[in-house]
Structure 1
């Protein structure tokens, strides 16, 4: 099984989660299951396929022509009244990303992948069934990891590879 098959398997999958680990975006697709093997964490809920993003990204509403949520929202307070000097973006539910991502996800039930494609600069785009699009923008010219797609470690006895995109090469 080659890396392209991991990408192709996302077609038609339901978006099950949008979250973050520090500043890394985490998207979950397909069936949810419990993984007891990950770093001794018990009852960890994970998804059949995952995308981790460490470069610039955004989710846009194609119908309205606006940005729903974007990578830099992580560093913005969710309320304007917060004093920036005391703002801690890493606290869960304290930043604009946590607020907007949750609001979008909860307002659009049953979002599925309509189309997934990668351009010549290795930017990832995913068109969703609600007429929104997830887009990455590689902003590294080094070998730093920008994004990766990976699946449940073993499906039907076949170990799935991680499809990893770095600034300079796949």
Structure 2
């Protein structure tokens, strides 16, 4: 045990709390500072990450640098390098969506435009288009309503989420038939 800690314990046993605090303070001041764990990142490694983080994933970066994936992720965050796309939608892309949204899937349009299906869906809704499916609702083999799930809910005066649940979970008395566009 450190000499300062021994003296602090003796002072504490005597009931001298101030003496205890003084010796503990001396112990804290005199103790060595903590050395960093692991290898340091050098400038070349940081430069490599900055040049390649958009074209390589973290696993590939880790392999190239001889580091763990977690270490690369952490360093990339420290360098404030994010892979978020700041690509704006062009008029040409919007025109493509308007022309092809009915005949092609979100995935197919996404591959053509180099965008994710989620981005395509969001953009379609922003420009007033939709890939929402239309259905005919049959109850006891009789057509009751037709349209999107929302339109069907309005037509039969039912809750939208109830109608969604009927379609996804299925009920014995209702049948949804998807309409081809």
Q: TM-score range by the shorter chain?
A: under 0.3
TM-score, with length taken from structure 2:
0.19
Bigger share in strand? 1
Of structures 1 and 2, the larger Rg is shown by 2
The answer to which structure, 1 or 2, has the higher relative contact order (CA under 8 A, 6+ apart) is 1
Higher helix share goes to which structure?
2
**TM-score if structure 1 supplies the norm length?**
0.19
